[in-house]
Structure 1
Amino acid sequence: MIARTVGRLVLDVVAVALIAIALLMLSGRMAVQPVLSGSMAGYAGRGDLVVGSDTRTDSLHVGDVVLFAPPTPYETPGNHPVAHRIRSIDTVDGRLVATTKGDANAQPDPWTLDLAHTRTAQVHLVLPSAGWPFIRLHLLATPAGRMTAGLTLMASGALLLLVGRRRRRPSDEPWPPPFESDRASVPLRQDAPAGPVPEPAAVPVQPSRRCPSAEPLRSLPRHPGQRAGDVTGIGHVDPDCRQCGPTMLPGRAHAAGLVR
């Protein structure tokens, strides 16, 4: 039960993260790029997916890994961004310039970045092997490809959320057995006596007192107090009958002899 709950929580977190990344990609505030070489092996290998956010120049520090497009004449095919680590930051002629280097490279990069004129995105997340689909499909190399990648990530996150909600629905299990058949499996209380449960004591039923005047009219003479046409269909009802006394009830109950 705990493992299932943890799994659903992880699934929800991944889904929300994918949707958030897609929204940031489509808004232009986040850079998502696959790693095409092994120059950063140990931090991000070929086929990994790096995720970075646009960062102000004055907030960069030595040791940060940043995504950037190499300056002329060192452009990459398709002007694909490179993820390298900042090696130094200096001020030259009033401008901040930085040098970079790949962790697996023996020499630093041959260029110098003018941070005031270079768009940089600081890398915050590395997703192992998640960049291969983008490499195979040649996505993220063009604006249309980046939009397609963002929509794909959003659809993937929505699909994960849908799968999580379907797993939370109760399973189609049959209804439990009726109470009468299930009652036998309920254990008795510790203080309950062993053996069969005794039947409840019968309540004595007092015989009813039937009014003599309630006998069928066809088998007995008419009551002295009965007027012609006063027939109930069961017996005669006379409110002034002294034989009934105070036990007489009005209506058909008395006429049927149900008075107790």
Structure 2
Amino acid sequence: MGHPGPQIRGPKRTLRLIGDAFLWTAAIAGLICIALVIAAQIFNVSLIMFKTGSMSPTIPAGSVALMQEISASEVKSGDIITVDRPGDLPVTHRVISVEPIDNGQWRVEMKGDANVQPDPLPYDVVEVRQTMGHLPDLATVIVSLGSPWVLGGMTLGAAGLVTWAFWPRSQRTGTKG
């Protein structure tokens, strides 16, 4: 009966197990990212980062919210929605009134929870993004991942893992007697 192959022992075995764990983790993270992108397309969801505190304390600055695109006809007073503004950043506030106008459009008045006054003008919309939930302080983490130093470190780490994974290994031959 032949020997099943070389046995790796000691520090080399530990390093190999750690490397394998990192590779499996990276592969699973990649699959999760692909699944999330597909789910986002199928369920029409996206993420939005909050730079200001106009929705505090409900949604503090630095939060990330999960948003789903819906028809404006589904919006109710009290909902937290995001409307796009041509030539400007989108705004996310609480709906204080909604009424149909014409051609499938709805007029929505909104106010930030931390604001004293409602938004100066109503928004005429067909579709909006409704807040499904949020995570405080996640925007800070996401923004920091965009740092050149972090991106460079992740690139070097990934290159090191790929190099390590495909580096030729010496094969010991022989059998134990």
Name the TM-score class by shorter chain.
0.5 to 0.7
Q: Deviations over 1:49-89 (max 9, x none)?
A: 100111122211111111222346xx13xxxx322111111
Q: How does 1:157-196 map to 2 (within 5 A)?
A: none
> Conserved in 1, the CA contact under 8 Å of 2:95 and 2:109?
yes
Matched, 1:91 2:106: no
Q: Deviations over 1:19-63 (max 9, x none)?
A: 564433355811201110000001111111100111122211111
Give the TM-score normalised by the residue count of structure 2: 0.55
Q: How does 1:125-204 map to 2 (within 5 A)?
A: 125-136=133-144
Give the fraction of aligned pairs with identical amino acids, expressed as a percent. Answer: 25
Q: Choose which of 81, 86, 89 in structure 2 pairs with 1:66.
A: 81
Secondary structure class of the residue paired with 1:55: strand
Q: Tell me the CA shift for residue 138 of structure 1.
A: 6.1
Distance 1:108 1:50, change over 3 A: same
Q: Choose which of 49, 56, 66 in structure 2 pairs with 1:51.
A: 66
The structure with the greater share of residues assigned to strand is: 2
For structure 1, list consecutive stretches of 5 or more residues without a partner in the other structure. Answer: 1-14, 140-260
Distance 1:108 1:122, change over 3 A: same
Q: Look at both structures and tell me which one has the larger radius of gyration over its CA atoms.
A: 1
Give the TM-score normalised by the residue count of structure 1: 0.39
Distance 1:111 1:136, change over 3 A: farther
> Conserved in 2, the CA contact under 8 Å of 1:89 and 1:98?
yes
What amino acid is the match of 1:66?
A: I
Q: How does 1:1-260 map to 2 (within 5 A)?
A: 21-25=36-40, 29-71=44-86, 75-76=88-89, 81-93=90-102, 95-116=105-126, 119-136=127-144
Q: Tell me the CA shift for residue 137 of structure 1.
A: 5.3
Q: Distance in 2 between matches of 1:86 and 1:44?
A: 15
Question: Could you say which residue in structure 1 is the equivalent of 2:173?
Answer: none
For structure 2, list consecutive stretches of 5 or more residues without a partner in the other structure. Answer: 1-28, 148-177
> Conserved in 2, the CA contact under 8 Å of 1:34 and 1:132?
no
Secondary structure class of the residue paired with 2:142: helix
What amino acid is the match of 2:106?
A: L
Secondary structure class of the residue paired with 1:25: helix
Secondary structure class of the residue paired with 2:141: helix
